Amino acid sequence: MPRSIIRLQYGVGVMAMCGRYESIGYSTAMDLLDNDPDEIAKLKYSDKSATYEVFPTNSGIVQTNSGYMVMQWGIPKWDHKGHIINGRQETLLEKPFYRKDFTLHRCIILASAFYEWTDSTGRKEKNIITENNQDIIKFAGLYKITDGIPHYVIITQQATPAFEVVHDRLPLMLDDDQISDYLAGAKLEQWTKPKMDVQLSWHSIAK
């Protein structure tokens, strides 16, 4: 089956894969944030709805070594024209833009699902992707503080063979028992192979 790769454009920058994701549930988010009204106000929950769709520059809940907090998705580009929302796992230590923050500012982005677009039928279809048996998906990420505001990116890796019919990249997803090591600065070699045991399900939905 030929695969089609849809690249999402935000601002003037072309962004590869995972251009939107679904937040975690409202009640879980409130618990993690200790019902802090200032943090809750940054999020896009509407009338205490269960989840909301997170777009670039929206805010999401992340985990750091300091606990759970709200950050903005997308690091402003150096030319102030658009935001960078993803970072390729394979080149994080090669690029000065990421190197320091991947060492010092790692984080976990909490989601319940993410989205990809395919056009194998001649029209774009929006697909929702979930991880089997997991209510919360944990994406590896890093953050950068710009003008006092923390911004995060999602780290991506080569897709597993089964997922390549949708896209050639995947968010780097971690299990619960990997998170503490990742946040503590585990060497990059531990995260350079695709997570072959990830069990994902997806289906097309209305836009």
pLDDT tens for the chain, 207 residues long, are 222 222 223 332 333 456 899 999 999 999 999 999 999 999 999 988 899 999 999 999 999 999 999 999 999 998 888 999 999 998 898 999 999 999 999 999 999 999 998 876 667 888 999 998 889 999 999 999 999 999 999 999 888 888 888 888 889 999 898 899 999 998 766 666 556 556 888 888 876
20-111+135-194 maps to CATH 3.30.930.10: no
Structural domain spans, the chain: 20-111+135-194
Kindly report the backbone phi and psi dihedral angles of residue 117, in degrees, each rounded to the nearest multiple of 5, phi listed first.
-115, 135
pLDDT at 4: 27
* Distant-in-sequence contacts of 45-53, Cβ < 8 A, 24+ apart: 50/25, 50/26, 51/22, 51/23, 51/24, 51/25, 51/26, 51/112, 52/22, 52/23, 53/20, 53/21, 53/22, 53/23, 53/115
